[in-house]
């Protein structure tokens, strides 16, 4: 009987403990500050599984560009508490986050910046504690990068980097503009910058609002949807400079309509088939509503033209 209780306990523990970083469907929604456009959200979404060098990985893709992004996708896998990031330039995996690390430990990451593909940066752990999120007790690491003068971040088990201590040391799934300057000595002062994680959601941990309900409305941040239909489609990049891609998910044939915020028709296209469709939005900078219709179902997105 004691053996059965032990098995039951272990089974329940595994159900209550997040099993991996970046599971399918995971969404990280960040704010981006842009000198020309203002503030807008961007979402990284884990969209598929893949096998690389015998490792079972997941692929996450961003919906909008910021200066810290070195790619439009992020490939990783987790093993024994360590998240490994695939450096496509070097065709090798590098340690990205070590959730096992304690105060005084460090790990080294090789960042894939094109001007310097051997840019190795240490992440030092200053201290650790735990935080309760949706019933999960998750380890939290307080870290800094490079040296004693480097930027500081907070990392939460299963979620990743959630906050930066000082601007402009901002980040998406990985540390951003400061490391870009550190690795390739290039920076653009008026380019878009991440300003921290606003929301996170996956099928295990659930929905987490890191910035307060008023600043992180689920209907807006969840894929930048206004009204969600049955499709799991999305648009990218968002913001864009006129070239828009639509991933239509489980929809077979759709009509596409774009309105400005005053309700004026800007663009319309019928009988569009997928799974991905691209069109050019000939419009001024600003905010628009993109509507996808199929068999009476409508899905609306906030669309930002830079």
Give the integer Cα–Cα distance in Å for 195 and 197: 7
Rounded Cα–Cα distance for residues 20 and 157 (Å) = 9
Give pLDDT, residue 217: 45
Q: How does residue 35 score in pLDDT terms, banded at 50, 70 and 90?
A: low
Q: What is the CATH number of domain 224-305?
A: 2.60.40.3080
What whole-number distance in Å separates Cα of residue 60 and Cα of residue 44? 6
Average pLDDT over residues 62-84: 81
Instruction: Give the tens place of pLDDT for each residue, 220-237.
Output: 333 333 333 344 567 778
pLDDT value, residue 172: 66
Segment 245-275, tens digit of pLDDT:
888 777 778 889 888 765 678 899 998 887 8
The 10s digit of each residue's pLDDT in 124-144 is 999 999 999 888 889 999 998
Q: How many CA atoms lie within 13 A of 177 on its CB side?
A: 21
CB atoms within 10 A of CB 172: 25
pLDDT of residue 58: 94
Phi, psi of 174 (to 5 degrees): -130, 160
Q: Name the residue with higher pLDDT: 77 or 288.
A: 77
Q: Give the model confidence (pLDDT) of 169-201 as tens digits.
A: 455 677 655 666 677 666 555 666 777 788 888
Nearest CA to 146 out of 112, 183, 171 is that of 183
The domain limits of the chain are 20-213, 224-305
User: How deeply is 260 buried, as exposed, middle or buried, from its count of CB atoms within 10 A (0-12, 13-18, 19+)?
Assistant: middle
**In the prediction, which pLDDT does 185 show?**
65
């Amino acid at each position: 009987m004691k053996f059965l209780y032990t098995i039951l306990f272990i089974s329940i523990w595994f159900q209550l403990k997040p099993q991996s970083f970046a599971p399918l469907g995971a969404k990280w929604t960040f704010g981006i500050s842009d000198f020309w456009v203002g503030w807008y959200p961007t979402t990284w979404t884990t969209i598929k599984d893949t096998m690389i060098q015998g490792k079972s990985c997941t692929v996450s893709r961003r919906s909008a560009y910021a200066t810290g992004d070195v790619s439009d996708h992020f490939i990783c896998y987790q093993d024994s508490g360590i998240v490994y990031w695939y450096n496509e330039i070097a065709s090798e995996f590098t340690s990205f986050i070590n959730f096992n690390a304690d105060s005084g430990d460090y790990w080294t990451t090789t960042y894939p910046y094109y001007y310097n593909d051997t840019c190795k940066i240490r992440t030092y752990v200053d201290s650790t504690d735990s935080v309760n999120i949706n019933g999960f007790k998750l380890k939290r690491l307080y870290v800094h990068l490079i040296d004693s003068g480097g930027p500081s971040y907070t990392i939460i088990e299963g979620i990743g980097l959630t906050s930066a201590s000082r601007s402009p040391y901002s980040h998406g799934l990985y540390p951003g503009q400061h490391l870009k300057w550190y690795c390739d000595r290039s920076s653009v002062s008026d380019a878009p910058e991440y300003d921290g994680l606003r929301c996170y959601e996956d099928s295990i941990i659930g929905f987490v609002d890191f910035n307060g309900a008023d600043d992180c409305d689920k209907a807006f941040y969840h894929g930048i949807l206004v009204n969600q239909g049955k499709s799991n489609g999305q648009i990218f990049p968002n913001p864009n400079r006129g070239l828009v891609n639509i991933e239509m998910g489980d929809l077979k044939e759709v009509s596409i309509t774009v309105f400005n915020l005053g309700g004026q028709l800007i663009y319309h296209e019928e009988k569009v088939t997928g799974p991905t469709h691209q069109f050019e939005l000939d419009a001024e900078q600003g905010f628009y509503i993109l509507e996808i219709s199929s068999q009476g179902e409508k899905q609306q997105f906030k669309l930002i033209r830079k």
